[in-house]
Chain A
Amino acid sequence: MAYFDAASTEPLHPRAREALTAALDAGWADPARLYGPARRARMLLEQARAEVAEVLGCRPDEVSFTTSGTQAVHLGVLGVLRGRRRAGRRLVVSAVEHSSVLHSGEVHEREGGTVETVGVGLTGVVDLAAFGEAVRAEGTALACLQSANHEVGTLQPVAEAAALCAGAGVPLLVDAAQTVGRMPASPGWSVLTASAHKWGGPAGVGVLAVRKGVRWRGPLPQDERENRVPGFENVPAIVAAAAALRAAAAEAEQEGARLSALVDRIRAEVPRLVPDVEVIGEPVARAPHIVTFSCLYVEGEALLMELDKAGFAVSSGSSCTASTLRPSHVLEAMGVLTHGNVRVSLPRGASGADVDRFLSVLPDAVRRIREEAGVKS
């Protein structure tokens, strides 16, 4: 099986596996206690925090560990909205944010706040002028913009958006789940969220970084443990996450360039090999590992099954493959074809030979599905 679904989850990095095994023995005790094993667990936790902060370019005491990237977004969005309640009740988001951002916005609306959604262009880039106008509007408490889109890979103009937000005195939350460990974080964020299993760490570890000076008030009952996140820290998993992040960040430039060249090959070859295909998203300003395309007249689910049979794990934003009957809100907002959609996201180490084999089986798979549906070519 060629695994091409890294944007869902990256396989565990070997460094993470080693660190996890070691930390299960050395970091099991309660880091809030004062005896030897507890102090060792605390030391490991703080070392991991410092390593993550270094990669993100912030201070260790600005970094909290959550139980997932989704929880980091929930706490980041709702915490800043509470902390800045006196500044206003407006939340600004791009139309292509991860569902965790949009669902946080729904909670905010139910509590009497408002959400303004800023549209994107055909390649998924947020309308920066409209974004600036939205954050400058009276009563804006927080703006959210992802670093790169999780479905199409398009990079957002985070540095420019951060400058607009700074000019308006509005904090910017950057959901960097798709880029941390693959690309350096753009400067200027106020709150940054990420997810360890997207960079090769274990599942169950998210990162919530809140810069000094950003007002934040937790939406959950607090305790005396992890800063901003209630509950007993999973020290071994956090240590493994930090080890994977250090390793991924060190390899990122070289491995990112290699994967990006493979993505370029897919972007160029798919429309040459398969008739009636739309390759979606920014061709250059994109995450190194993600490419998405939609095949006209093809049911997304049928194509995923064909590709699974041929030994490829890929995902799709088509409605028939989602748990809801609606197509992906990202593809809808971009105004691109939502059916017959395939997202290929390459993990660390994905081979050129596997990409070539994917390109060799795809045209027949699409042709068979179209024939069965009675489409005349």
Chain B
Amino acid sequence: MIRNRGVSDAMTPRHTAAEQAAQQAAQAPALTVDALGKKCPIPIIMLAEQINHVPLNAVVSVLADDPAAFTDIPAWCRLKSHHHVGSYELPQGGWAIHVRRNY
């Protein structure tokens, strides 16, 4: 299963070179939430539940393929004052959307 491979192998960055470099320097996700096949708002409900299970400043990676999640998870971060680190395309479709717990 591709999903079980190392996260960086499975991801194609869709942001600038500077962001890619920053991403590579950043820590690996402390937790992966598999919301593939789930429709919004379920991926966000899962993220909201799980984010408190990682330490402060740790990263949660949400795997999602509902197009709404691509917009809604960064919007959730803005509303909830967490940090959207970046969104990375998965080879099988969908994204790994990285969120850093701020509080």
User: Hey, which bits of chain A sit against chain B, CB under 8 A?
Assistant: 276, 278, 296-299, 318-320, 325-327, 331-332, 335-340, 373-376
Contacts and interface: CB of A to CB of B under 8 A. Distances in A.
Interface residues of B, number: 18
A339 to B, nearest CB: 4
A336 B49 CA distance: 21
A64 B60 CA distance: 56
A77 to B, nearest CB: 26
B12 to A, nearest CB: 20
B79 A296 contact: yes
Contact of A338 (B42, B48, B71, B79): B71
Contact of B66 (A278, A319, A373, A375): A319
A335 B41 contact: no
B81 to A, nearest CB: 13
B79 A339 contact: no
Given A278-B75, A296-B76, A320-B39, A339 B67 contact: no
B45 interface: yes
Nearest to A332: B71
A335 B71 contact: yes
B93 to A, nearest CB: 13
Nearest to B79: A278
B41 A299 contact: yes
B45 A337 contact: no
Most buried by B among A296, A298, A331, A373: A296
A337 B39 contact: no
A158 B76 CA distance: 31
Chain A CB count within 10 A is highest, among B41, B48, B71, B76, for: B41
Given A327-B71, A338-B40, A338-B72, A276 B45 contact: no
B44 interface: yes
B45 A336 contact: no
B94 interface: no
A335 B74 contact: yes
Contacts, number: 65
Nearest to B67: A326
Interface of B: 39-42, 44-45, 48-49, 66-68, 71-72, 74-76, 78-79
A279 to B, nearest CB: 11
A376 B41 CA distance: 14
A121 to B, nearest CB: 13
Q: Which 10 A-B pairs have the closest CB atoms?
A: A339-B40, A339-B41, A337-B75, A327-B68, A332-B71, A338-B68, A319-B68, A297-B41, A297-B45, A326-B67
Contacts of A299: 39-41
Contact of B48 (A297, A319, A325, A326): A297
Nearest to A280: B75
B50 to A, nearest CB: 12
B44 A339 contact: yes
A327 B76 CA distance: 15
A332 B67 CA distance: 10
Nearest to A331: B71
Max count, chain B CB within 10 A of own CB: residue among A298, A327, A331: A327
B72 A337 contact: yes
A373 B45 CA distance: 8
Contacts of B48: 296-297, 375
Given A297-B48, A337-B75, A373 B68 contact: no
B66 A296 contact: no
Q: Which of B39, B45, B67, B72: most chain A Cβ within 10 A? A: B72
Contacts of B66: 319, 325
Given A296-B44, A337-B71, A340-B41, 18 more contacts: A296-B48, A297-B48, A318-B68, A319-B39, A319-B40, A325-B66, A326-B68, A327-B68, A332-B71, A335-B75, A337-B79, A338-B68, A338-B72, A339-B41, A339-B68, A373-B41, A374-B45, A375-B45
Contacts of A337: 71-72, 75-76, 79
Contacts of B45: 297, 373-375
A337 B66 CA distance: 13
Nearest to B43: A339
Nearest to A326: B67
A299 B39 CA distance: 9
A336 B40 CA distance: 14
